[in-house]
Every structure is written in C-alpha cells, then in structure tokens.
C-alpha cells in the first residue's frame, strides 16, 4: 500500500496541473524511490497501480512522464498504463510535450575540486527554457556527480544570460552537450565502482538532464540514492512544489553528510 499512500498524500488535493514543467517535476519526485538498481516489477507496480486506478488526466500525464524518465521495469509499466488509460479515452493534454526538452547549450565553470556545468533546456517551438546545474567533483581517480538540479522555466534570454554569466569567480567556457553526456556516464560508472550514492535532489533531476541530452530515459546507469534523513514530511506534501521544498531542505543535510564521508575517505 506504500504507493497508494504516497499517491494519495501527494495528489490528494491536486485536481489538475496545467504546466508541463510542474507535471514533470512532480513525476520526477515520485519516480526515484521506484527506479533504483535491482527493484522488481512488484515494487514498481506499487506506484503505477494507484495512478492507473486514479485514472484521470493528471494521473495519465504523470504516467507519461514516468515512462519518459524511468529505467525498467518502471518505464515499461508506466507506458503500458498510459496505453490502457488511453484505450478508455483518458489522455493528458500535456502528453506530447512531456520529456521533449533538449539541451540547446551548455557552459562549464571551474571551481575548486571540480566543475559546475550549466545547461539550457528547451522544448521545440516553445519560448521558455529551463536551466539545469550539474556539479561534478573531480577525485584523483575519477569524477563524481555531486549535485544536479533544474530551475523552473524562465524566458530564453534570461536562461542564455545565466549560462554566459560568471559563476562565483569563474568565467564560463562552452561545453558540447555530447561531452557532458560522456562525463556524466563516466562519473556514474565511477560512482557505482565506489558505492557512492546520489542525494535525493540529484536523483530527482538527473533523469531530466540525461533525457534532455539524449532523448532517452535510460542513457545513464541507475544509481543508488542516499536514504532521506527524515521521511515524515512526505505525509503533509500535497503538491510538487512542497516536494521540491522538502528536497531543498534535505539537500543541505545531505551535503553535510557527504562532506563528512569525503573527509573519512581521505
Ligand atoms: Zn575512484
């Protein structure tokens, strides 16, 4: 029943979402605990079934997003549920815009022990853009994905300005999206070798960046996620915005924990 409770608490008083970025964000927040290495179809069905039972346009849209951003078996189950709902005439009006963002520009900024990459992501024929931030930490033996986050949509001109601006004291350099994908892929493999996990916020957003780079849900390997420090807040989180704020709060804690682990490794 864990998925049912989660769906009830997150969607309880939300009737509809008209903004595609908000819909994607909510699906990404719901997704990650069900898209971890080694999870079986029974576990992933715990999320898919209650959404399909809900059976409205919002649920259909969330399922489209889950299909777009998830590894297997979650992605396949979501796609099958989308097909069944569609057979009953339930289709999200946002369906053809979900998962369509593509990285159109990227810039990199050197920081101590690593690099910050900013990506500008945009849907075809749409004016707004979203800026994603990827922090990559360079260890002597390889890279680690330190943090991934994506901001809500802004005007294209503003997104472009963000990519061109100095980040802390570092001037931006252009980065080919292909090079970012290769770096993320190598970093993910390196993290698997060292049993280094993603934090919750990064786990939420990494699939959005990886899909925007490749058009695929499974371009990067699945990574483990740190156990959230507290789990109670979920019960009082009816919407994606609150889930996002919760993720922001845990981010600070996770960062401290990661810093402590890093010190211990040295
Ligand atoms: Zn290493």
Q: What pLDDT is attached to residue 167?
A: 80
Q: Is the pLDDT of residue 72 over 90?
A: yes
204 pLDDT above the threshold of 80: yes
CA 188 to ligand 1 centroid distance, Å: 11
pLDDT tens digits along 138-155: 999 999 999 999 999 999
Cα dist. 116→54, 145, 203, 229 in Å? 40, 10, 17, 26
The CB density around residue 16, as the number of other CB atoms within 10 Å, is 12
Residue 168 pLDDT:
79
How many angstroms separate the alpha carbon of residue 51 from the centre of ligand 1? 40
Residue 247: its pLDDT value, please? 45
190-199, pLDDT tens digit by residue? 999 999 999 9
**Mean pLDDT to the nearest integer, 69-77:** 97
pLDDT higher than threshold 90 for residue 52: yes
Q: 32 C-alpha to center of ligand 1: Å?
A: 25
State the distance from the centre of ligand 1 to the C-alpha of 253, rounded, in angstroms: 24
**Per-residue pLDDT at 232:** 42
């Amino acid at each position: 029943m864990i998925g049912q409770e989660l769906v009830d608490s997150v969607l309880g008083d939300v009737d509809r979402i008209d903004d595609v970025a908000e819909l994607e964000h909510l699906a990404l927040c719901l997704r990650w605990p069900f898209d971890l290495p080694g999870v079986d179809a029974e576990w992933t069905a715990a999320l898919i079934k209650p959404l399909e039972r809900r059976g409205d346009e919002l649920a259909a849209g969330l399922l489209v997003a889950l299909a777009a951003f998830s590894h297997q078996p979650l992605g396949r189950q979501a796609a099958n549920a989308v097909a069944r709902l569609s057979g009953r005439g339930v289709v999200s009006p946002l369906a053809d815009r979900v998962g369509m963002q593509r990285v159109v520009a990227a810039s990199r900024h050197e920081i101590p022990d690593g690099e910050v990459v900013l990506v500008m992501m945009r849907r075809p024929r749409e004016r707004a853009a979203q800026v994603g931030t990827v922090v990559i930490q360079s260890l002597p033996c390889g890279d680690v994905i330190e943090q991934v986050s994506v901001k809500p949509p802004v005007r294209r001109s503003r997104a472009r300005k963000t990519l061109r601006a100095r980040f802390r004291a570092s001037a931006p350099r252009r980065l080919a999206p292909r090079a970012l994908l290769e770096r993320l892929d190598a970093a993910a493999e390196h993290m698997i070798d060292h049993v280094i996990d993603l934090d919750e916020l990064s786990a939420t957003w990494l699939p959005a960046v990886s899909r925007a780079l490749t058009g695929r849900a499974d371009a990067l390997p699945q990574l483990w996620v740190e156990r959230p420090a507290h789990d109670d807040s979920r019960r009082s989180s009816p919407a994606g915005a609150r889930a996002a704020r919760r993720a922001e709060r845990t981010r600070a804690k996770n960062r401290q924990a990661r810093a402590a682990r890093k010190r211990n490794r040295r």
